[in-house]
Structure 1
């Protein structure tokens, strides 16, 4: 059955419900919902479940998926402020301060994008493009392509589209089969080839290829990553939902020691 904007959104909510251990309809309620997190083999592969504290909003409310001893902290917090302010300072300091009593800190904050079908089209690319498959990825697990491909989960990388200058790969959009119904897009373009429309051309074409295979493409960016957000919008995507994840103090400290940042919840 062909996709519609509504069916794409419903697929995303259904997957978020699996991840959060709630019901899809919970994301459309006006009142907030809090549930106890639990592991599920159908969840997105990069998530570490059960969550300690994880907030999701599709705009109407907040669904909080938490461990039992965090509920007395999170429940009054999400009821004290409008949903959008729960993901922003200064209100977010209230949650972070309370979670530190449990050995947790706010760690990951991400915005997720879904394609809007009337906006999605194969954008022109100034360079030749070709489709890539897992057998083509083996030599590409390097820093240059670390957004498009994930060396730690190579088995999930299923499809890509590359842009070539002569025989040299200069841009790559690839997707990982993070769950049964949705594939996540990542994009890398070599520095000398940026700001030429390559990223949006590859992203839009890959999104269409994913839809053709009966899967829903999705795109994730930190809200402050303006370049990535602009690429999503140029490529035919619009914001759909946001997530916030708290992790242990030791986990956060280790990320800071490594100078690492991520939105994947690993």
Structure 2
């Protein structure tokens, strides 16, 4: 397992580097600290679970962790994100007024690669320049405009004077930036998405930061983009949110 990923998960899940790498499922009560990836604006965490290194890391509120430390003590991390297991977990946390918000696989890339981008021009956007795209649904995956993970770098592919694709990097933590990508429908299938992700990956690595890429479990096209751009599967993760009234 990548040491930066292990270090980041240790911070996120309020455990030690050794806890992440050993073979035992880990259950910890959440406390906010510097360097964590945050998934909401209030800094609280009812429950989040990562499947990594063949095990699970569970972190959250003391009451639910007390229950899960018994129920999931021997859970197999490699199969934890199966529908049956997620349905069981969702039922358990529903008693507390919460539900699973999302469950995603994540990929990381530790090496730069040579990019072929001969049929379009690249235009770079700084953190301030990215703000012009707020509310632009064309780029809702490239830029999240999150207060806790600000968008810090963007790269657009221009063809014939118009944007045909956009990749963005958000500062999810001091150690790791997350990359997102949008390609306009008529430009899909010709490698623009892969090239933009690869270009931004290289730029993030040049900053001494590890790029990572998350997508939906069923979004095979997006996963293929990640793999073609030099990313490899690293961990899976679920987060929860409170039921609406």
What's the TM-score once normalised by structure 1's chain length?
0.84
Provide the residue aligned with 2:129 in structure 1. 136
Question: Deviation of residue 238 (structure 1)?
Answer: 0.9
Provide the residue aligned with 1:24 in structure 2. 17
Task: Please provide the CA RMSD for this pair.
Answer: 2.1
Matched, 1:115 2:115: no
Question: Deviation of residue 45 (structure 1)?
Answer: 4.2
Higher mean Cα deviation, 44-53 or 162-171? Answer: 44-53
Q: Given the alignment, which residue of 38, 44, 47 partners 2:31?
A: 38
Provide the residue aligned with 1:243 in structure 2. 237
Question: Deviation of residue 217 (structure 1)?
Answer: 0.7
Question: Partners in 2 of 1:212 and 1:80 — Cα distance?
Answer: 41
**Aligned ranges 1:52-201 → 2 under 5 Å:** 52-117=46-111, 120-141=113-134, 142-153=136-147, 156-201=150-195
Where does the alignment leave 5 or more consecutive residues of structure 1 unmatched?
1-5, 254-266
Taking a change above 3 Å as real, the CA distance of residues 143 and 205 of structure 1, as seen in their structure-2 partners, is same
Where does the alignment leave 5 or more consecutive residues of structure 2 unmatched?
none
Taking a change above 3 Å as real, the CA distance of residues 116 and 89 of structure 1, as seen in their structure-2 partners, is same
Q: Given the alignment, which residue of 177, 188, 213 partners 2:207?
A: 213
1:90 aligns to what SS in structure 2? helix
Aligned length: 243
What's the TM-score once normalised by structure 2's chain length?
0.90
Question: Partners in 1 of 2:25 and 2:139 — Cα distance?
Answer: 39
Question: Deviation of residue 222 (structure 1)?
Answer: 1.4
Question: Partners in 2 of 1:169 and 1:154 — Cα distance?
Answer: 27
Q: Given the alignment, which residue of 5, 13, 19 partners 1:12?
A: 5
Question: Partners in 2 of 1:54 and 1:125 — Cα distance?
Answer: 42
Question: Partners in 2 of 1:15 and 1:94 — Cα distance?
Answer: 28
2:115 aligns to what SS in structure 1? coil
